[in-house]
């Protein structure tokens, strides 16, 4: 009888544990959906054409790619991971003094912000921050209506094992649908500056995705950190790279330096003929 009673207690305990786990999962899903609904339109696809010229090559190669951007204010100021839109900056940082030997020239010949209603907004890079791996872009023309943006006035730090929700737009094969992922902070690095290391089992999160705390406040944006890879021929480049979440406060400070877009070249009207002109 005692044995049966213990089995009963064990079954009850397992059932309660299952209910608690289900309750936590439901809470994550509920809060995550709220974050998704509030901020999804602040995540945009940025399409660019990148020209790459290798040393000794007779012509440059062009590659079209789509990146994830986070809109920071209604004017359309958007932040990307610099390593995503121009990988040459990351390679140079990894190679250090050896970068000049195989230097690759890059040029972004075209850039557009793609909105979910099909609007294509020509844009340009107005500021690069190599240390933070940030590229700030603006539409070349003022948006007809204010753009949806994340709330940069409400930010939150993160701690080890905190859960965060990241947002993204998928590729064209998936209809550029908005997506959300739940990630876990595996480490907090404080020197030389504070940043967060997400769990390595990342899902649809990409560079440029915003990350939010469960209270809906912005934690930061996903970028890449690269350091000089030492060791000559034996260097291990994989050890020189890691994906991080850069804190929102660092992004705010950098964004304050972003100038206005130069825009399209101004078209001048042809001079009018005078009465005396023949």
CA–CA distances in Å: residue 129 to residues 137, 223, 250: 12, 12, 11
CA–CA distances in Å: residue 56 to residues 48, 59, 105: 25, 9, 11
pLDDT at 88: 80
DSSP state of 263: -
pLDDT at 204: 85
pLDDT at 271: 45
pLDDT at 269: 41
The answer to whether residues 69 and 47 touch, using CB atoms and an 8 Å cutoff, is no
Per-residue pLDDT of the chain (278 residues; tens, 9 = 90+): 444 446 555 555 565 555 455 555 688 899 999 999 999 999 999 999 988 877 666 677 888 999 999 999 999 999 999 999 988 877 776 665 555 555 677 888 899 999 988 899 999 999 999 999 999 999 999 999 999 999 999 999 999 999 999 999 999 999 999 999 999 999 999 998 999 999 877 678 999 999 999 999 999 999 999 877 665 555 556 677 899 999 999 999 999 999 998 876 543 344 444 444 43
**What residue ranges define each of the domains in the chain, with the CATH number in brackets?**
38-255 (2.40.10.120)
The answer to whether residues 244 and 197 touch, using CB atoms and an 8 Å cutoff, is yes
Rounded to the nearest 10°, the torsion over CA 46, 53, 132, 185 is 70
The answer to whether residues 46 and 68 touch, using CB atoms and an 8 Å cutoff, is yes
pLDDT at 208: 97
Helix (H) or strand (E) segment spanning residue 197:
strand 195-198
pLDDT at 104: 72
């Amino acid at each position: 009888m005692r044995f049966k009673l213990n089995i009963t207690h064990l079954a009850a305990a397992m059932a309660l544990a299952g209910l608690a786990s289900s309750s936590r999962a439901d809470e994550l899903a509920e809060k995550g959906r709220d974050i998704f609904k509030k901020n999804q339109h602040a995540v945009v696809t940025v399409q660019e054409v990148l020209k790459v010229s290798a040393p000794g090559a007779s012509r440059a190669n062009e590659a079209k790619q789509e990146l994830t951007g986070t809109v920071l204010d209604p004017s359309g100021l958007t932040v990307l991971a610099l390593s995503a839109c121009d990988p040459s900056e990351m390679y140079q940082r990894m190679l250090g003094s050896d970068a000049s030997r195989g230097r690759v020239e890059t040029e972004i010949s075209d850039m557009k912000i793609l909105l979910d209603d099909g609007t294509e907004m020509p844009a340009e890079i107005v500021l690069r921050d190599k240390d933070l791996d940030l590229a700030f872009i603006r539409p070349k023309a003022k948006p007809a209506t204010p753009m949806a943006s994340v709330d940069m006035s409400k930010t939150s730090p993160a701690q080890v094992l905190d859960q965060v929700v990241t947002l993204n737009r998928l590729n064209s094969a998936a209809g550029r649908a908005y997506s959300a992922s739940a990630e876990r902070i595996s480490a907090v690095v404080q020197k030389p500056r504070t940043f967060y290391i997400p769990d390595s089992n990342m899902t649809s999160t990409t560079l440029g995705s915003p990350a939010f705390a469960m209270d809906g406040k912005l934690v930061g944006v996903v970028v890449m950190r690269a350091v000089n890879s030492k060791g000559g021929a034996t260097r291990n480049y994989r050890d020189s790279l890691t994906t991080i979440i850069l804190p929102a406060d660092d992004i705010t400070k950098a964004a304050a330096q972003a100038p206005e877009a130069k825009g399209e070249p101004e078209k001048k009207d042809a001079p009018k003929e005078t009465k005396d002109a023949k």
